Amino acid sequence: MEETQVVIVGGGPAGLATAACLNRLSIQNIVLERDDCCASLWRKRAYDRLKLHLAKPYCQLPYMPFPHNAPTYISRLDFIAYLDNYMSCFGIEPRCCRSVERAWYDKVEGKWMVVVNNKGSGVEERYVCRYLVAASGENSEGFLPDVPGLKSFHGEVLHSSGYENGERFRGKDVLVVGCGNSGMEIAYDLSNYAANTSIVVRSPVHVLTKDIVRVGMFLLKYLPCKVVDPICINLAKMKYGNSSKYGIRRPKGGPFLIKAKTGRSPTIDVGCMNRIKKGEIKVLPSITYVKEDHVRFAYGIVNCFDAIIFATGYKSTVLNWLEDEKGQFNEEDGFPKQRPPNHWKGESGLYCAGFGRQGLLGISNDAQNIARDIATLAA
């Protein structure tokens, strides 16, 4: 049994940023990471060509801006290097191969009890702390929808978190399901590797360029969403014309309003739209069922595929390990019930870093808020 002031569950950007803010205030903390490395989403579960979609000022963690000579959009490998540097600068030493299996609040002691499976030694470890930070990520586990007949599929089935690049799909018929940021970029990547690519787009989606998002983020500093959204939509119309001709319909609400209300990000186009326009990537409607080598879609469309890649999003796994006696998290999606800007603080010394659906910028704010709050309470 080891006692510390704060246990942080998860060594991704949110856990590391929180540890850095606590270390600066000399507040004792331990970061527990289930994988054999920190930031495993970025090292192991993201595709090769990934770059941050937001410009660098929106992606930096507290107290360490990206260098002036770094490109505006940081690559996956540069972001990993930045995180490694961040850890050494702030003296963060995550304990890896530590999967948090259970955490509960002991009312008598007024402390959190944390049970960990040390995957290296196979031995169970126990930690006791006054404050517990859930930083296990909005993207903790890939979400695979229940598609009728999928088990009978003859080809390969993959979640986007397991996709690296299109090399082994060259010349193959590949279906990408989902048109969020992962789906649109993976479809484009597959098409770069000469895979015969199709993408399922079942709902309306805002597709914007990086530049339009950058303009939008800048304007939002001075103007309300209801002014910024129409500007962004008009810029998108100028860029893409009427994309519903190609099966990409726009939602009723604006992109930043939807982001603020639901957390769903607009899809940032890195080249997929042009391929769709040229007919090089085919847009398909909802899947009805899968049978052996073929997939049936709405409107009776049937096509054969060698592989299906599900870019259908992620799940939070907080409720797999947290005993949530006070019902602070939603049972359906494992997100805190408190909505931003109040999502980071729970009860009994429980905190959430990285659950505001606001990307790295939100993580940076959460980490600073949490450390400040703990410093005040612990003083």
Ligand X SMILES: Cc1cc2nc3c(=O)[nH]c(=O)nc-3n(C[C@H](O)[C@H](O)[C@H](O)COP(=O)(O)OP(=O)(O)OC[C@H]3O[C@@H](n4cnc5c(N)ncnc54)[C@H](O)[C@@H]3O)c2cc1C
Ligand Y SMILES: O=C(O)C(=O)Cc1c[nH]c2ccccc12
Residue 296 has phi, psi (to 5 degrees) of -105, 135
d(CA 283, CA 346): 43
- Considering the complex, what minimum distance in angstroms separates the CB of residue 54 from ligand Y? 5
User: Which of these segments, 4-12, 226-234, 246-254, 326-334, binds ligand X (CB under 6 A)?
Assistant: 4-12
Give 83-110 as a DSSP string: HHHHHHHTT---B-SEEEEEEEEETTTT
Q: Find tokens 């989902």 and name the residue.
A: 178
Three-state SS for 32? strand
Out of 12, 94, 349, 359, name the contact with ligand Y by CB under 6 A.
359
Out of 19, 21, 30, 52, name the contact with ligand X by CB under 6 A.
52
Q: Find tokens 């604006």 and name the residue.
A: 254
Out of 313, 334, 346, 349, name the contact with ligand NDP by CB under 6 A.
313
Per-residue burial over 61-96, b if 16 or more Cβ lie within 10 Å, else e, is: bbebebeeeeeebbebebbbebbeebbeebebebbb
Out of 19, 22, 46, 83, name the contact with ligand X by CB under 6 A.
46
Three-state SS for 50? coil
| 266 belongs to the binding site for ligand Y (CB under 6 A) | yes
| 369 belongs to the binding site for ligand X (CB under 6 A) | no
Out of 4, 5, 75, 140, name the contact with ligand X by CB under 6 A.
140
| # of chain residues touching ligand X (CB under 6 A) | 34
Which does residue 266 touch among ligand X, ligand NDP, ligand Y, none (CB within 5 to 8 A, set by kind)? ligand Y
Amino acid identity at 132:
L
CB contact at 8 A, 38 and 16: yes
Residue 218 has phi, psi (to 5 degrees) of -65, -50
Nearer to ligand NDP, 66 or 314 (CB): 314
- Considering the complex, what minimum distance in angstroms separates the CB of residue 22 from ligand NDP? 26
Residue 140: CA atoms inside 13 Å, Cβ hemisphere, count? 25
| 369 belongs to the binding site for ligand NDP (CB under 6 A) | no
| # of chain residues touching ligand NDP (CB under 6 A) | 25
User: Which of these segments, 51-59, 217-225, 282-290, 331-339, binds ligand X (CB under 6 A)?
Assistant: 51-59
Which does residue 19 touch among ligand Y, ligand X, ligand NDP, none (CB within 5 to 8 A, set by kind)? none
| 202 belongs to the binding site for ligand NDP (CB under 6 A) | yes
| 54 belongs to the binding site for ligand Y (CB under 6 A) | yes
d(CA 169, CA 307): 8
Out of 321, 335, 344, 351, name the contact with ligand X by CB under 6 A.
321
| 358 belongs to the binding site for ligand Y (CB under 6 A) | yes
| 135 belongs to the binding site for ligand X (CB under 6 A) | yes
Out of 196, 265, 368, 369, name the contact with ligand Y by CB under 6 A.
265
d(CA 104, CA 114): 7
Residue of 332, 270, 288, 17 lying closest to 147 (CA atoms): 288
- Contacts with ligand X by CB under 6 A lie at 9-15, 32-35, 40-41, 46, 50, 52-54, 59, 99-100, 135-140, 182, 317, 321, 354, 359-360, 363
